[in-house]
Amino acid sequence: MLTIDCRDVLSIKNELLVYVSDQAVAIPTLKHNQFTLSTLDDDEVIDINSVIASIKEFLDSIGEGQNFAVISNNEIISIKSISGKIIERDAVPQSDMFSCTHCGYVTRYEVELNVHMRIHYL
């Protein structure tokens, strides 16, 4: 199980969780200032390097890649601000989010959720 510390990026934690868990093919668990990633099978190991690459890719996609460092220490990955700046965004109201009852996938769009849920029935 990997823990990702999101103290400096709390306003984008939910979006980051969805992106990274999809890229790492892992089960996310949301916590107060962090989230964890685990596998279905205890024998499997999540590749830390691919998780770090996914976090950096996400930060680059929102134009914040140069402002944050992604640091790994054993099973804990921290996202730290280089300049002391934190990401501030208006939070999306929780009522506007749709969640998959099978795996916890979260999206803003009901149509996207319906398409996603079809994969569970293939």
| pLDDT band, residue 107 (cuts 50/70/90) | confident
Nearest to 40 by CA among 118, 87, 104, 84: 104
Lookup result for tokens 């944050």: 68
The residue to which tokens 């107060």 are assigned: 32
Query: Could you tell me which residues are beta bridge partners of residue 70?
Result: 79
pLDDT at 56: 94
- The pLDDT tens digits for 18-68 are 899 989 888 888 888 899 998 878 778 889 999 999 999 999 998 888 999
Q: Retrieve residue 68's tokens.
A: 């944050």
pTM here is 0.70
Q: Domain coordinates of the chain in residue numbers?
A: 2-81, 92-121
93 backbone dihedrals φ, ψ, rounded to 5°: -55, 135
CA-to-CA distance for 18 and 22, rounded, in angstroms?
A: 6
Q: Which residue did the predictor score with more confidence, 85 or 76?
A: 76
The CATH number of the structural domain formed by 2-81 is 3.30.1360
pLDDT value at residue 92: 47
